Each structure stands twice: as structure tokens, then as C-alpha cells.
Structure 1
Amino acid sequence: MLGRLILQSWRRQHRRRLLAVITIFLAATLVSALLAVSLDIGDKMARELKSYGANILIEPASRSLLPQLLGESVTVSLANQDALDERELPNIKDIFWRNNIMGFAPELDGELIWQGQRLPVLGTFFDQPIAVPDEPDYHTGQRSISPYWQVQGAWPQDAQPQLLAGQALASRLHWQVGEQLTLAGPAGSHAFTLVGLLHSGGKEDEQLLLPLAFAQQLLGRPQQVDRVRVSALTVPENSLSRKAREDMDALSAEEYDLWYCTAYVSSIAHQLEDALSGSAVRPIWQVAASEGVVIQKIQLLLAVVTLVALLAAAMGIASLMTSNLLERAKEIGLMKALGAELWQIGLLFYAEAALCGLLGGLLGCLAGSGCAWLIGQSLFGTPLAFNLIVVPVVVLLSMVIALLGTWFPARQIARLYPVEVLHGR
């Protein structure tokens, strides 16, 4: 009987029912698209924010700890006495969160002589292949972790005697791209080709940058590295990560396991310290904290827009159902006069609303997946993943807002007196 009443109602008022479905459909489309974006935007935004640079710094333990105990002046005396071993660098991609390591670049500082002038140099990887298990074509270096570097000309090849010059240094010495520079160091000399000018906005603007192997050879420091900058995908900090940051020993066994198995910047730094002997690893908090704040604010904005869409849809449904009640007043009065209970009449309205919510929610999920795909393509160049958990959530929300929109008109039904309605008042 209930099904026949619903079917007859849809036949007589199909335009109004279609309008209700469209209202819910639009809301469900927006909600499903925003949910899909919110679920996948963390990784996408984290990748985009890698343009800020590396967020983890690896140094020799003595250089990190002794200056704090004995003063900054000891850093200079330690410059050639302690270093990281280049042969351990592949261990960076052997930790639990190896897939979150976007790239890394070792750095070696020193001074070389050009035409009697001592110039600061930085040996590093630009796009160096590294032997990593299960990743036969893995390359890493400054090109991947420092996308904000602006290079006029070409990037050096790590296996060739090529270099970059900071724009400030090149301008002072009147260098141009293509010049041949002979650099001399404690362990010999070598001719290099200047292939590009670098503008980074940092100290690199006053340095010469050359492949790490050539810097080690000229400085007489084979297999040595002063520090390693690592770019890793991380999740924003919360109370657990801040607790671990303050005192790791205060974590319980369960908290430690959860912290270790979550991609916090502090847990990744901890694993890297275990992977590289004699190292001290610390997050670069200026970068790591800003990434977390940006992602959290974007997700909060998406949540607010979703809530507004749900409220707007609920108000639209309430308006439609109220006008529907006025049009069907005589029908409701007749059902009351024939002995229909109030809950039976309310059930009819709620069933109609739930059906509108179900149809609008399902259609909205289909349209929302397409919107999420377009958002991903336009903003990130890759489609966003549409998680299937979005479908039941959106359908349930669609039915809830349809039922909530029907609640006020259903209350009005109780105030209708059959004799007045049938009399036309």
C-alpha cells in the first residue's frame, strides 16, 4: 500500500519530485567532489609544497651536538675531521617510509682557487643515479629537492666536469655561460665548463656548484659528505608527534608504535638517524611546520564549504516539502478522515524524501567523481583518486538532509484538522 501511494505521488507530482532530486543531486555532487579532494589532497599538496625545499637535514653527530655544548666556533675546526660516508646514502631509501622519500642531495663545502682567488664551492648531486633495491632507475639530487632554484642555462651532468655559478658570484667575476674555468684544490686541479647560472635567493648565489665526485677529488675528501638534505612526504603534526618531539621516552609502547608507523617528519627523521651511522638527523621545522599548517587550513576550508552545501540543500528540501504539503492538504485531510494514523502519513512523506535522497545521492556521486577528476587535472596535472568510501557516505548524507528537510513539514501535518481542510479553509 505504501509503495502504491508513493508511486502515485511521483506520477502526479513528478516535476516537484524531480526538482527535489536535482536539489539533492547538486548538493551531493559538491559534497562528493569535496570529500574526494579532501581525502587525496594531503599527498597532492604535500608534493606541491616540496617546492619549499628539503624538510630534513642529516649531519655528522659531532657537528650537530658539540657546537651546542662547546660553542659554535668548534664547527670550523670539525670541518675536515668528521663527515658522513657517501657509501651509506642508499640506506636513506631503505627505511620503513622509503616510499615517502621524494629525494635527497648530499653536500660538501670547501674552497677552490681560480686565478689566485679563493672561491666557495659546494659539491652535490644534481640528478645522480643511485642503486636502490626495487627502483632500478632511481635518480636524486638538487633538481628534485630544490625545484625553486632558477637556472639560466643548463643543469650540470654529474658525470661530466660541469658546474653552476651563483648569479651574484658570476656577475662579480664577469662570467658567462660556456666559459672554461680551471679550479685548483689541495689534491689537484681540473677544468670545468660553466653550463648555467643559479639564482636561489640563498648562499648558493655566492658559490660554485659542481658534481660531488669532482669536489671530493679536488678537496682531497673521498667518499665524504658534510650533510644531506632530504625531501620527504609527511603528515601534519598532532598532539602525539609533539609529545614525541618533546620527550620520546615519555611515549608508551602503543604510542611509540603509532608514532613510528605514521609519516610524521619526526618519525622519518628518527628512522634516518638509525639508518646512517654517526649521524644526527633533525627536521627543518620552518618547512615542515608550514606544510602542515597549509594542508590543515585547506582541509578546514573544504569542511566548511561541505557543511554550507549540506545546510543549503536541507533548506531547499524543506521549502519544497512545505509547498508540497500545502498542495496536498486535502489529500492529507481525507486520509485522516478515513482513519489513517499520523505516523502513517508521516511515513509516507519520509519515504518519498528518502527516495529523493537516494536517487540524488547516487547521481551526485557519479557527477562528483567527474568533478574530482577535473579538479585534480586542472590543479595538480594528475587525476585525484575517488575513494569508494565516499559513495555510502554521500548517499547517507543525501538521505539525511532529505529527511531533515521533511521534518518541519511533517510536524505541520499534525496541526491539520480534516474538517477544516476538506471544507477548504
Structure 2
Amino acid sequence: MKSIGRMNDAEQKKKIIFYGAYDRYNYGDNLMPIIFQFYIEKYHPLLLNDYKIEYCAIGNSDLSRYTCFKTTKIAHLLDSTPDDSLLIVIGGEVLCATNLTLLTHMQNTRFSHAIVKAGKYLLRRHLNVLTNKIYGTRWEFPYVPPKSAFKNRIKLAFNTVGGGISGLSVKNETDVKNRLKSADYISVRDKRTQQNLKSTINAALYPDSVFLISELVSSDFLNKEIKESIKNVKDKPYLCFQASPHKVGADETEVVEALIQIAKIRKEKVVLLPIGYASGHDDLQYLKKIEKRLDGEGLLLQKLNVWEIMYIIKNAKLFIGTSLHGIITAMAFNVPHFGLNPNIFKVNSFLQDWSIFPFNRSLRLEQIVSASSEDFSFYGQELQANSVKLGELVKENNSNIVKLCQ
């Protein structure tokens, strides 16, 4: 993986710290900071003479087997981060995830996840205390860090984040608003989030930072990072299907029957692609069941690194899924795409804000079956033009953040 040596530069340098949910394996969460680093290396390489890039999360982690960077526990950086360093929160629905919610996503088995999730409702107060000691941060809502937690003076930016602050208690809402107001820059990825913050927080609206993959991740780079067996998948045309069981909005029988219909209509094989591996997402367990019921009509891919996931989506003829960053990857590479289930608001909202017709809203499964007979090659130029336009907006947003280092 390129530029990993930069992580060992001299300690006296100021730091650009990427902070997010990088201590668990979820494609989008892990990819966002990597693409921002690639952006810096291409457009602001001289910045690295004065700054060292570091990845941090709530906990220490090593996901290098998935070609992700190791993370440092943020608690270990509070006293050691030099003056004038820049902390960039790059993540998905970071507003306002709690320590306890994030702990449930860290459980390594479905059984342990279920135990913690049950306890979350039965013993919430006691679990909150325990969570803050063993996993969480010193502050609640860990991805909205208070500048005052750092010993030295830092700058703070939020890069195309999602979520909101509605539903918090008056005390917590006031606390979170004060932290956000202290930030030097905030951008959000959809109008839904912007409207949620609008009354008191000035947040710029930009598309997700991952859109730059079509410019920053070359075919040569991808080919070096993927297994030969993954390259062979594209020998025959395929549609790519991804889903979380908690978000699909249909039962297994409906999903299987729909995939068989779509594959027959389009004369394409079905590739089942898990993207969400963190507990609470459970793509892999769900898609195993779908593969079994497809009875040889579907190919399930497992244990893919971030570049292999990207490669599979890039080369698909159609992407269908519940994953926002699966959708974003398809959009970046001009792949026709359907968000599955209109009730997944973050996906539906993002599509409405940034995609093109007829892909600019999430659909129910039966609607996707009906739409799949269309010749999507007609939209190729529009998809490409939209990808270029969104990439330029991302560069504008990234530039706004990098200026904080000057």
C-alpha cells in the first residue's frame, strides 16, 4: 500500500490526525481517510514536510490484513499531540453515536454482539459506566471531540459527516453544539444532516470524500492490491448485490426470487458482496443464506480487502445494495446503482442530493426488478459527468480543510 512509510516520520512534526471508526472493518469507514491521504499526497505533497499523518480511533487496531492502516487509541494522543496539529473527523454517521452504541459494533461474534445489545437496554446506566472505562472516550459522543480534551492547541475539522443532534437531552444537545461551534470547519454529506444542524451550526454541504477514488485510485494500483481469483470474477458480466439483514426491507425468499429474475432479465450472473463486516451489520452471515438458497446461481465473495471490494463494484454492470459507500463507489466509477429500501434514510437522502435520474432515490425490491430491464448504457455519459462534477466538489472541500494547516 503506497506511502505507508510516511507514518514513521519524525516525532517532532505537527500532525494531521484522521479520527473515525477505523478500529473495525467496514469498507466505507476504513476507506475515507485513506483517500484523503492520497489526496494530500497528490495535491499538497509539501505539506508532509511539516506534518505527519496518523490514524486514530476509539481503540488501537491493526486491520492491515485488509490493507487498512493501524490506528492509535485517541486517548493516547490527548497529551502528546503537538501545537497546531489538525484533527480531522472523517466518518459516516458520527453525529451523535454514543460510546455504548459503538461498543456493540466492536463485538467479534454475533453471539457476543447479541449479549451486549441486550444488556444495552436492560442495564444501560451500568453499561455506560463500564463502556467509558474499557472502550470509550473520556467524553460521550466520541466522534465529536472537545478541543479542551487535548493538552496542546489543535485545530478541528469535520469532513462530510452524517447524522444529527436531534433526540438528545437538552444538556447533551447544548454540550454537543458547543463542541461543534468550536470546530474550525464542518462539512456534511447530505441536506438531511445540514438541516438537522441548521438552527445553530454552520455546516457546508459537499459530497462524500470517497468520490475521488475514480481519480486517485488507478487500475494499475488496484490490480496490484487484489488476488488473481478476484480479477477473474469479471470474466463474465455480473450484477453486484450487497445487503445488511437489518436494512434490506424484504424477507429472504423475496430477495432470492428477485435476484433470479433480475439475473435472467439482464443475462448476468449474481455476485454477492459483503461490505459491512462490523457487528450490527452482518452482511456476510446474511449473504451466506442467500447464496445457499440461490442454489448455484450466485457467487459469494468473502474476506476481501478494501481494494478488492472496490474492484468488484467498479467492474459490475449494476450495483444493488443498502451500503452507502457501496453506492458511492458505484457512482464514482459510473456504474448504474440502486439503493435498496427507501427507509434507509442516509442512503435515500444521499442519492436524492447527488445522483442522477433514474438512480436518484432508493427503491423497493419489486421496483428494482421492474427497472432492471432498462438499458442502462444510455446513462453512461451522464453518470461520468456527474462523477467528475462531484469529484471537483470533493477537492474543493478537501482544500478548505487543508488550508487549516497554513
Q: TM-score range by the shorter chain?
A: under 0.3
Give the helix-richer structure, 1 or 2: 1
Give the strand-richer structure, 1 or 2: 1
Query: Larger C-alpha radius of gyration, 1 or 2?
Result: 1
